[in-house]
Chains A and B, each alone.
Chain A
């Protein structure tokens, strides 16, 4: 009946998917006021660092551990100049090169850590929250115990344990250390949200329709929980940068042979500072501050626009903030 009358849509399913995408990004496109400013400023800063990280080989004048060019050794601890815009370190490496390659290291570690923390924390939270029971109670005890420790402490312990294993002191070790620190956070947020969703009439309705638990979790619970994840993950990325820098600063992070890392550089720069050499510490420090600010703005902006419910919820920050100014 009404079927013939309807103009045949070209591909209703594809179109539906496009519309779903449009709908998901609609709050972002329509964000207003401070949320909009935070969102776009944060996105611009974050994007800047992503570009640095991805195109580091093209952008950076030198490699992160290069100390000579064309057979000529760089000067040690040279002032910023036309040849070395941000000066050089005591090992003669170029500070700007280390900052640019550092962006790559930081983002790599944080991306791997986030993906791992999400793939572990979110499903655990979903199952634990939906099914409850003894598994839930056991997981809650373990996660709460982990959560009670400062992130930095957990990360140091894990990094320390792993540095003696075959994985070594590289990117993966740092990423795993950060993952372990953050899994409890995702677990908690997701589990608590699932528990509140479980009471929703539409979850009951799905049961009444005969949906299996798997279907209910996938189609009714998961989709409504994931909406919370982007802001949390972005804010978390900011935290993770600080955590990685703190690990590096304390000597438990990326080993110098494996990559440039800002926290490590700041550590090396501490002794320079007393002799009036400011550039070795300032630039990595600024990079940390800028990237963390960018991610925080982006995360808070997303939070404001996507999640009016979760607004103003604070996520624990690590206590240790290696701000360069304090060390100079």
Chain B
């Protein structure tokens, strides 16, 4: 076993080394600032699309990567494929570290790891025939120069993915094909060089309902015939259930739960997974995910919450989950929005004054009261708010609330990043489980 694998608890059943082994992978996108920012060489900020992911993909398995929009699934896939640069961390593919390979050397990896993107309409070059597109990998890697033999290989592959007779498709252009047929052609192109690994990024989400199942069945059959390993990225927990051997749940750049599909569906551990699973019966799986989730939107990946990224939305959150200044602002604003117009609300807003000081993420809040107010008044108001809704998880995080040196002082429990820990059959990153400090 390689040394870095020691970070994860040993898995007795995975005796053979995994095909892909990801360790603490981070992929940040820099957000372009204004022209002035760039002049002085200042980055306006980073989006932490993938923010410390560790996972193994075993030979021959289908690993499902599930999460809401913006959780970084596509970015993780693109980092594996070398289409996005890893900021730090490692990806080990077939025993080779690939995150720092130069583009030229990555070309060899690309014969072994292929991708099917979400949008079949955009994945094929509109200026190439299906035959040219599907055969192009051979030419790119200089593997087959004889045009008749190439045509033969392409025909075989087309028929294998259900575009039969191949003659009817070879000279067609993508615009002549339906979405399902295009996706079949894309799959043919991805598999024609016989890779070991396929990243399928929501391969059916843009297809008609009627063809989705057929394409998924095709992918399963091909996996069997070609001995493939899949990373299957999806929104849709319902199809992931029958398609995947294992499931990784991703939230804001991190894996929050990973384990055998059956175990995850039977006994979801992480509060986020539970929320996702409650949302399943929704007929339109694209929409299902966010709707039933507890309070709030997915936070901005450029400024993720401290501690557990899920804590602002988590119904079970408690002391160590990472409570911080922005949660206070959120709490107050939600309260004022809910009670707008009611007696006393405006006075309360005036009492707190400008909340922008709370935008700097910190577990220790110090802010001066607005002019003419005393900090004690604000502390009293906060105590009153607490007494009105003592069940609100936010208050569990508050360790200390007092007036000090003409400031309001609010200390939260120190934030703590939950790490993936083995709980039963799965690994969960949540302080409710494992040996996290309470």
B147 touches A224 (CB 8 A): no
A202 touches B171 (CB 8 A): no
Assembly CA distance A204 to B82 (angstroms)? 11
Assembly CA distance A229 to B122 (angstroms)? 22
A209 touches B123 (CB 8 A): no
B126 touches A208 (CB 8 A): no
B118 closest partner in A (C-beta): A201
**Chain A residues near B152 (CB-CB < 8 A):** 3
With an 8 A cutoff between CB atoms, is A220 at the interface?
yes
A208 touches B136 (CB 8 A): no
With an 8 A cutoff between CB atoms, is B301 at the interface?
no
Asked, given contacts A207-B83, A209-B189, whether A201 binds B125 with beta carbons under 8 Å apart, the answer is no
With an 8 A cutoff between CB atoms, is B119 at the interface?
yes
**Chain B residues near A212 (CB-CB < 8 A):** 107, 140
With an 8 A cutoff between CB atoms, is A223 at the interface?
yes
> B interface, how many residues as a size bin?
35 or more
**Chain A residues near B106 (CB-CB < 8 A):** 210
With an 8 A cutoff between CB atoms, is B114 at the interface?
yes
A19 touches B165 (CB 8 A): no
Chain A 4-16, CB-CB to B under 8 Å as 1, else 0, gives 0010010011011
Taking a contact as CB atoms closer than 8 A, the residue among B140, B170, B171 that contacts A209 in the complex is B140
With an 8 A cutoff between CB atoms, is B308 at the interface?
no
**A132 → chain B, closest Cβ, in Å?**
12
Interchain Cβ contacts within 8 Å, total number: 86
Assembly CA distance A92 to B155 (angstroms)? 72
Chain A 221-254, CB-CB to B under 8 Å as 1, else 0, gives 0011001000000000000000000000000000
With an 8 A cutoff between CB atoms, is A161 at the interface?
no
Binding site of A, secondary structure by majority: helix, strand, loop or mixed? helix
A5 closest partner in B (C-beta): B165
**A263 → chain B, closest Cβ, in Å?**
40
With an 8 A cutoff between CB atoms, is B159 at the interface?
yes
**Chain A residues near B115 (CB-CB < 8 A):** 205, 208
Interface residues of B in 299-357 (CB under 8 A from A): none
With an 8 A cutoff between CB atoms, is B29 at the interface?
no
Assembly CA distance A212 to B151 (angstroms)? 22
Assembly CA distance A30 to B118 (angstroms)? 32
**Chain A residues near B82 (CB-CB < 8 A):** 208
28 contacts between A and B (CB under 8 A): A2-B155, A2-B159, A3-B152, A3-B155, A6-B155, A12-B171, A16-B129, A16-B131, A200-B122, A201-B118, A202-B124, A205-B117, A205-B123, A205-B186, A209-B114, A209-B137, A209-B140, A209-B189, A210-B106, A210-B140, A211-B136, A219-B127, A219-B136, A220-B125, A223-B125, A223-B127, A223-B128, A227-B127
Partner-B contacts on A (CB < 8 A): 1-3, 6, 9, 12-13, 15-16, 19-20, 23, 200-202, 204-212, 215, 219-220, 223-224, 227
Partner-A contacts on B (CB < 8 A): 81-83, 106-108, 110-111, 114-115, 117-119, 122-129, 131, 136-137, 140-141, 147-148, 151-152, 155-156, 159, 164-167, 170-171, 173, 186, 189
